[in-house]
Structure 1
Amino acid sequence: MVLSLRSVSKYYETAEGPLTVLRNIDLDLGTGESLALTGESGSGKSTLLHLVSGLDRPDEGRIEVGGRVVSELDDRGRAALRRDVVGIVFQQFNLIPSLNVASNLGFHAALAGRSNPAWEKQLSERLGLTPLLDRYPEQLSVGQQQRVAIGRTLAARPSLILADEPTGNLDETNGDAVMALMLELIAETGAALLMVTHSTRLAARLDRQVKLTAGRIVT
Structure 2
Amino acid sequence: MNPLSVRARQAPADTLASPLLRVVNLRKSYATPQGPLPVLRGVDLVLRAGETLALMGESGSGKSTLLHLVGALDRGDAGEILLEGVDIERLSENARAALRREAIGVVFQQFNLVASLTVAENLAFQARLAGRYDPDWQARLTARLGLDALAARYPEQLSGGQQQRVAVGRALAVRPKLLLADEPTGNLDEAAGDAVMALTLDLVAETGCAFLMVTHSARLAARLERQETLIAGALSAS
TM-score scaled by length of structure 1: 0.98
Report the CA distance between 1:38 and its aligned residue. Answer: 0.3
Name 1:29's counterpart in structure 2. Answer: 47
Query: Given residue 180 of structure 1, which amino acid in structure 2 is its aligned partner?
Result: A
Counterpart among 122, 133, 143 of residue 161 in structure 2: 143
1:72-125 CA-to-partner distances (Å, cap 9, x unmatched) read 112111111101111000111111111101011111111222211111111111
Name 2:32's counterpart in structure 1. Answer: 14
**Residues 35 and 209, structure 1, Cα contact 8 Å, conserved in 2:** yes
Q: Does 1:184 align with 2:202?
A: yes
Q: Does 1:154 align with 2:172?
A: yes
Name 2:87's counterpart in structure 1. Answer: 69
* Aligned alpha-carbon RMSD (Å): 0.9
Separation in 1, partners of 2:170, 2:180: 13
State, as a whole percentage, how many aligned pairs show the same letter: 63
Detail structure 1 runs of 4+ shifted over 3 Å in the superposition. none
Separation in 1, partners of 2:170, 2:73: 19
Q: Does 1:86 align with 2:104?
A: yes
Query: Given residue 94 of structure 1, which amino acid in structure 2 is its aligned partner?
Result: N
Separation in 2, partners of 1:87, 1:60: 24
Separation in 2, partners of 1:91, 1:27: 23
Separation in 2, partners of 1:75, 1:84: 14
Query: Given residue 173 of structure 1, which amino acid in structure 2 is its aligned partner?
Result: A
**Residues 44 and 214, structure 1, Cα contact 8 Å, conserved in 2:** no
Query: Given residue 175 of structure 1, which amino acid in structure 2 is its aligned partner?
Result: G
Separation in 1, partners of 2:117, 2:34: 45
Larger mean CA deviation between 204-213 and 63-72 belongs to: 63-72
Query: Given residue 190 of structure 1, which amino acid in structure 2 is its aligned partner?
Result: G
Q: Does 1:124 align with 2:136?
A: no
Q: Which runs of 5+ in 1 are unaligned?
A: none
Partner of 1:43, secondary structure, is coil
TM-score scaled by length of structure 2: 0.90
